[in-house]
Amino acid sequence: MGSLMMLPHCHGGKVVSIYPNSRKGYRYYTSFIMQTVEFVFPSNLNRRNLVKKCNFTTRASVQPIIEEIVEDKHRNIPISGNAIRQRFLDFYAARGHKVLPSASLVPDDPTVLLTIAGMLQFKPIFLGKAPREVPCAATSQRCIRTNDIENVGQTSRHHTFFEMLGNFSFGDYFKKEAIRWAWELSTVEFGLPAERLWVSVYEDDDEALTIWLEEVGVPADHIKRLGEEDNFWTSGATGPCGPCSELYYDFHPERGLIDVDLGDDSRFIEFYNLVFMQYNKKDDGSLEPLKQMNIDTGLGLERMARILQKVSNNYETDLIFPIIKEVSKLANISYAGVNEPTKTKLKIIGDHMRAIVFLISDGVFPSNIGRGYVVRRLIRRAVRTGRLLGIRGDGMGDSEGAFLPIIAEKVIELSTQIDPDVENRAGRILEELRREELRFVATLERGEKLLEQMLDDAVLNAKKNKTAPCLSGKDAFILYDTYGFPVEITKEDADKRGVSIDMNGFEIEMENQRHQSQAAHNTVKLSVEDAAELGKGIPDTEFLGYDTLSSKAVVECLLVDGNPVIRATEGSEVEVMLNKTPFYAESGGQIGDHGLLYVTETENQQTTVIEVKDVQKSLGNIFIHKGIVKGGSIEVGREVQAAVDPNLRHRAKVHHTATHLLQAALKQVIGKETSQAGSLVSFERLRFDFNFHRPLQEHELMEIEGIINKWIGDGTFLETKVMPLVDAKQAGAIAMFGEKYGDEVRVVEVPGVSMELCGGTHVSCTSDIRGFKIISEQGIASGIRRIEAVAGEAFIEYVSVRDNYMKQLCSTLKVKAEEVTSRVDGLLEELRAARNEVSAARSKAAIYKASALASNAFSTGTTREVRVLVECMDDVDADSLKSAADYLVGTLQDPAAIILGSCPGDGKVSLIAAFTPGVVELGLSAGKFIGPIAKLCGGGGGGRPNFAQAGGRKPENLSLALEKAKEDIVAILSEKAG
């Protein structure tokens, strides 16, 4: 090392001194060495590799002391977003940080919907729940935030998708190094002028202030003390916390130093946030120093790109602007030549498409719940915004096409250095986007017209009542539930018209829907006034059920009608908590065991029996055995014999293992990207929900069945082991999104077939399943499919019942089983022919009746005579009514207007309006005309300008409706043709 110190420490003719430090020895300034190497060896050598070869490395705990730094002339060249990302990671790698990959946008943390910050993957370490694997790390983390979605495109810095560059210390270094490196990265590595940088510190953090002032040399007039709301980070009401220090870039230093507000977006942008985790916040709110102090930082890539590329906002950087240019091309406009509202629309699509593509790549598909709703909301907002820009179809001439996939191709092209897996999943991403966009467009136009009408009505009613215009919560919910309009989109359009929305009413409608959708689910809780107090006196239940189906146990607590009791007698519905149990409590989709609890008294007294019909977990890990006292009584503190029903347990085990095989077979047949979205393992059947965009074909279901039954026939023995969660994931075990796992997990493996994290009960060998049969496959939500199947005894019962049905069918049709299909096809063909004959006869009768009514047509209009016919055709069905209208259009001389009505039965009304070309030329539309008429009959409808159909449910109003139709058509034609 001494020889290194003999090098001339100069660059550009100026001397840079490196001082030894008595405590840690010499401190080397790596960035300076790189510049020196470039100065001494002016060539195309890779500076970073040369430094590595010379072993010029530093540890995280090593920090240079710099007397003077000379600006690198190369810094004047704008650098790309990809280069910024790489230089950040290389900078911290050279300082001992382990560079780790970005975590998925779907976090392991069940308390967070999506990955919102770079520190999220390290949260267990910061909270002391997991040991550190490295002393310090650096990442470029993909993040999603939608809490400020209304600001996207409106401001220069808000995004739904962004990258957060971060360096993290897990007890290795602290404030001094974090601050110095942040300054060095900003001013030397990225060459930001020091005079344009401002710093904020927590108002009580004198230590950080001193470091900025005395060791880094930031002028006091460029440092601001801020309060707890801005500069103090907490993990929750209690736990690790600490002050923050932030770096800001000043776009307008000419505005001076007086009354400076770092929150002024027109002047400043915060680009780097340093969090110093140094305290533990206690229950009483007091702070105590942490034994291990941590560093958590975040630097916004898009923000740094804006600064270095010298553009007016984040959207005009090379990270996003190529996407905006693609949107502009489809909209046939120029970004530079449009007004600000149009630019905002372009920015919205550019931003949202990045979020959409990366979310779908990470396995989040559009749906109406959770993460899926975030994707669906962003897609629909992008589609709606595109239509406001004038993009129709694919924007390239195909009116039936989709434009989002075209933009997504540009996002995928830009993604290779962010996440290379995106390109590998391109086909799936583009197909999902195309399908979702076309599905939304199918209802969008109808919804847009309905929203416009609702807003018109709201404004009109407000004028009549002299009140502020307001859209009802019910109307907003109809737009959301039926037409797929996120309430945010409805609100945007309503705001433009000056109409508010009754959000309380909307939330009530949403809550009603949630209650309806949850009605079929069991909600289990202890119905006591203070369940937490009750739980304090009860230990967690020891589960013995993996190894035995029967054991002795002690009654810890009894509940009757949700209230604690000492004793329960015959006939009581009771909830029993034991110190240990062989009963499996419902979890992981598997229902709770059934069985019996015995209490044997003396030889002269009867045996108490409690029939257990359900077992649930509550208050942490306490098992609640729900049942009925069939005889005798039971008391707290008594010993019982707990016995699980072995037959039902076996049926549950069979279905649970079959569920694992089903997931493995699905991944093999339809793609590895599919993932579990829910399951039910019961005694009678299994249910498996999974992410997929279309119904499975019959041949795919047969292939899945065949694969599973082969695995069953292979007789593979299962392997179950408990291991650290990290090891399980590295081994390839599948985890369920949203499930919370501890440090130690149970892994169930069918060797060569599947490996999953699972706490359920399973067979010992696949041959124990005996057989597997899919009984249904259906969609339960957008992008979510459901398979129901049977296995084991349930499989045999299912096949036996179906076989009996087939025998009865063969007997009825008098054919063999293999002839049933052809015989049924023949019967259906005969039925279709008979129906066609009946329909033809009805049409002929209707036409005959219409010919008789044609003479009732009358003329109206003065400058141009129009023939009008408005008639009731009694009980003619809708199809025959259409035939009659077609006949009359061809019979009456053009121009002619025909309105027909009928009551075909079952309380229904049918209406038809048919206008000849001459009437349409006058400006009339059959579709618009028939709607209000149908409303009089309690219905609605519409159609083309020349032909429209409608229906209703109030046949008693048909005569009134037809009279109204005649009155209206005459009035309109008198005006148009008069």
| Residue (of 507, 625, 503) closest to 557 by Cα position | 625
CA 954 to the chain's CA centroid: 43
183: left (phi over 0), alpha (psi -120 to 50) or beta: alpha
| Residue (of 139, 107, 138) closest to 124 by Cα position | 107
Helices (H), 246-389: 301-309, 321-331, 340-361, 370-388
Is 121 in contact with 140 (CB distance < 8 Å)? no
For residue 194, the 8-state DSSP code is G
Q: Does the annotation list 594 as a binding residue?
A: no
Q: Does the annotation list 656 as a binding residue?
A: yes
CA–CA gap between residue 579 and residue 552 (Å, rounded): 10
Q: Is 505 exposed, middle or buried (0-12, 13-18, 19+ CB in 10 A)?
A: middle
CA–CA gap between residue 418 and residue 104 (Å, rounded): 12
Question: 975-978 long-range contacts, Cβ below 8 Å, gap at least 24?
Answer: 976/861, 976/922, 976/923, 976/924, 977/860, 977/861, 977/862, 977/863, 977/864, 977/865, 977/866, 977/895, 977/922, 978/861, 978/862, 978/863
The arrangement of strands across the sheet holding 744-750 comes to 719-724, 744-750, 754-757
Q: Does the annotation list 159 as a binding residue?
A: no
The amino acid that residue 209 corresponds to is L
Q: What are phi and psi of 633, to 5 degrees?
A: -145, 165
DSSP labels, 253-276: GGG-STT--TT-TTTEEEEEEEEE
CA–CA gap between residue 227 and residue 628 (Å, rounded): 59
Which residues neighbour 797 within 8 Å (Cβ) at sequence distance 6 or greater?
A: 790
Other beta carbons within 10 Å of 816: 9
Two tokens at 594?
């059934």
| Residue (of 416, 439, 356) closest to 161 by Cα position | 356
Beta bridge partners of 438: none
CA–CA gap between residue 560 and residue 567 (Å, rounded): 9
Is 686 in contact with 680 (CB distance < 8 Å)? yes
CA–CA gap between residue 656 and residue 637 (Å, rounded): 34
CA–CA gap between residue 706 and residue 443 (Å, rounded): 39
**Helix or strand (DSSP H, E) at 676:** strand 676-681
Question: 728-736 long-range contacts, Cβ below 8 Å, gap at least 24?
Answer: 728/757, 731/755, 733/757, 734/663, 734/676, 735/108, 736/588, 736/676
CA–CA gap between residue 640 and residue 557 (Å, rounded): 13
Angle in degrees, 0-180, between the axes of helices 958-976 and 926-935, rounded to the nearest 10: 150
Bond prior to 131 in cis (omega within 30° of 0): no
- Pairing verdict, β 573-578 and 639-644: unpaired
| Residue (of 364, 369, 395, 398) closest to 382 by Cα position | 395
Is 823 in contact with 813 (CB distance < 8 Å)? yes
In three-state secondary structure terms, 91 is helix
Q: Does the annotation list 158 as a binding residue?
A: no
241-to-116, 123, 246, 271, 514 alpha-carbon distances in Å = 18, 12, 16, 21, 36
Which residues define the annotated binding site for Zn(2+)? 656, 660, 758, 762
Which residues define the annotated binding site? 656, 660, 758, 762
